[in-house]
Amino acid sequence: MQTATISFDKFNPLQEDECHARIRAARARLAEQAVLLCHHYQRADVYQYADLTGDSLKLSRLASQTDARYIVFCGVHFMAEVADIMSRPEQLAILPDLAAGCSMADMANLAKVERCWRELGEVLEVEQQVTPVTYINSAADLKAFCGERGGIVCTSSNAGSIAAWAFAQRPKILFFPDQHLGRWTGHQMGIPLDEMVVWDPDLELGGLRAEQIRHARLLLWKGHCSVHQMFQPAHILRFRNEHPDGLVISHPECSFEVCRQSDFVGSTEHIVRTIKQAAPNTRWLVGTELNLVNRLAEEVRAEGKIVQFMAPTVCMCSTMQRIDPQHLAWTLENLAAGNVVNQISVAAHERAAAKLALDRMLAIS
């Protein structure tokens, strides 16, 4: 039975104990009607309620496989959009705090990407020569842009095979919004750095000369993750001096130099799996978000493994952090009362083309 929507004001001041009791009660009432998908960066006090966890690729697959009516996404906005696109029409994707965005995703928008495409068209036969590839950390309209132009979506765990597919279609790639993932992927494929150029969306012709564009194989959008840019080669150097047997693992959103100096580079799921499967008593330096690193350190401590965060300062994904127990309690109580709150619904005119780009990705991954 539906009641009036319960205001968040009543949940904001809730003490931890009461908040958790209300989450558990609402979760029990919802039973199979809801599934909680949690990204690895979620804070511990929310992550404990996850039904399913993963990196962006795994979560997008899971979103397409669940039967639950409500897909409650403890992650950021673009992830909930993907859940909406990949699920059936009668299923609803819910983001407990609408302000949980991704600052990297916001570094590219449709107007700027369309301008880029137009300007590239002044120098190249763009439709024949360039495959647009968007990192999954992007708004649905950019995924639709790629879907409509023979392009594709990638995540941090499949960027290599997606780029190989994209190059098989056309000789150049326009990669947005993360220059670092794009550069690392190109490097892994053997593309020299001088054949990868950075497109600055705030400058005419991306700040490039026509000749540079014609020469380039990879055009990298000037975007980055504010969390991963904190990790520096000097942090790795200090760790290696102090612990010559230690191992370094980083997310490909880190800078090129950090990735190059790491022993392993991969998605959040890859980082978790690699350290869990490593030999006992090993020591690790990890270049990714702090909630993941703290949880992992705790989980492998009993095997004598030591897991350290790469940066000396605390750096979390502040937008992921917004999904707190208060927002989760508010969301679940409303859903249990039949009130749909914070639904993420991708516009009908973008959905089909965005799904095309995502389906192309899932078929290859």
Binding positions for ligand 13P, rule: CB under 6 A: 40, 55-56, 137, 155-156, 225, 251, 253, 267-268
- Cβ distance 279 to 191 under 8 Å? no
Question: Closest distance between ligand SF4 and the C-beta of residue 227, in Å?
Answer: 4
Looking at residues 187 to 216 of the shown chain, list those that interact with ligand SF4 (rule: CB under 6 A). Answer: none
Question: Closest distance between ligand 13P and the C-beta of residue 58, in Å?
Answer: 8
Q: Based on the shown chain and the rule CB under 6 A, indicate whether residue 269 belongs to the binding site for ligand SF4.
A: no
Q: Per CB under 6 A, which region of 97-105, 120-128, 157-165, 254-262 contacts ligand SF4?
A: 97-105
Q: Based on the shown chain and the rule CB under 6 A, indicate whether residue 320 belongs to the binding site for ligand SF4.
A: yes
Work out which of 35, 62, 102, 285 binds ligand SF4, going by CB under 6 A. Answer: 102
In sequence order, the 6+-apart residues with CB closer than 8 A to the CB of 270 are 55, 157, 264
In sequence order, the 6+-apart residues with CB closer than 8 A to the CB of 32 are 67, 68
Work out which of 139, 227, 323, 335 binds ligand SF4, going by CB under 6 A. Answer: 227
- Cβ distance 151 to 354 under 8 Å? no
Is the Cβ of residue 232 or residue 267 nearer to ligand 13P in the bound state?
A: 267
Q: At what angle do helices 159-169 and 348-364 cross, to 10 degrees?
A: 100
The partner in contact with residue 141, picked from ligand 13P, ligand SF4, none with C-beta cut-offs of 5 to 8 angstroms by kind, is none
Strand 343-344's sheet: what is its strand order? 52-54, 34-39, 70-74, 92-94, 343-344
The partner in contact with residue 255, picked from ligand 13P, ligand SF4, none with C-beta cut-offs of 5 to 8 angstroms by kind, is none
Question: Closest distance between ligand SF4 and the C-beta of residue 20, in Å?
Answer: 25
Question: What token pair was written down for 356?
Answer: 């095309």
Q: Based on the shown chain and the rule CB under 6 A, indicate whether residue 104 belongs to the binding site for ligand SF4.
A: yes
Q: Based on the shown chain and the rule CB under 6 A, indicate whether residue 159 belongs to the binding site for ligand SF4.
A: no
Q: How many chain residues bind ligand SF4 (CB under 6 A)? A: 13
Q: Based on the shown chain and the rule CB under 6 A, indicate whether residue 93 belongs to the binding site for ligand SF4.
A: no
The partner in contact with residue 183, picked from ligand SF4, ligand 13P, none with C-beta cut-offs of 5 to 8 angstroms by kind, is none
Q: Per CB under 6 A, which region of 99-107, 165-173, 190-198, 258-266 contacts ligand SF4?
A: 99-107
Instruction: Provide the H-helix boundaries in 154-260.
Output: 159-169, 179-188, 210-215, 233-242, 256-260
Q: Based on the shown chain and the rule CB under 6 A, indicate whether residue 317 belongs to the binding site for ligand SF4.
A: yes
Is the Cβ of residue 225 or residue 329 nearer to ligand SF4 in the bound state?
A: 225
- Cβ distance 163 to 173 under 8 Å? yes
- Counting DSSP H helices and E strands in the chain, the numbers are 16, 14
- CA 98 – CA 113 distance, rounded (Å): 24
Question: Closest distance between ligand 13P and the C-beta of residue 329, in Å?
Answer: 25
DSSP code at position 4: P
Work out which of 137, 155, 250, 261 binds ligand SF4, going by CB under 6 A. Answer: 137
Q: What is the dihedral of CA 104, 105, 107, 112, to 10 degrees?
A: 160
In sequence order, the 6+-apart residues with CB closer than 8 A to the CB of 62 are 37, 52, 54
Please provide residue 271's backbone torsions phi and psi, each rounded to the nearest 5 degrees.
-65, -45
> Which residues of this chain interact with ligand SF4, rule CB under 6 A?
76, 102-104, 137, 225-227, 253, 289, 317, 319-320
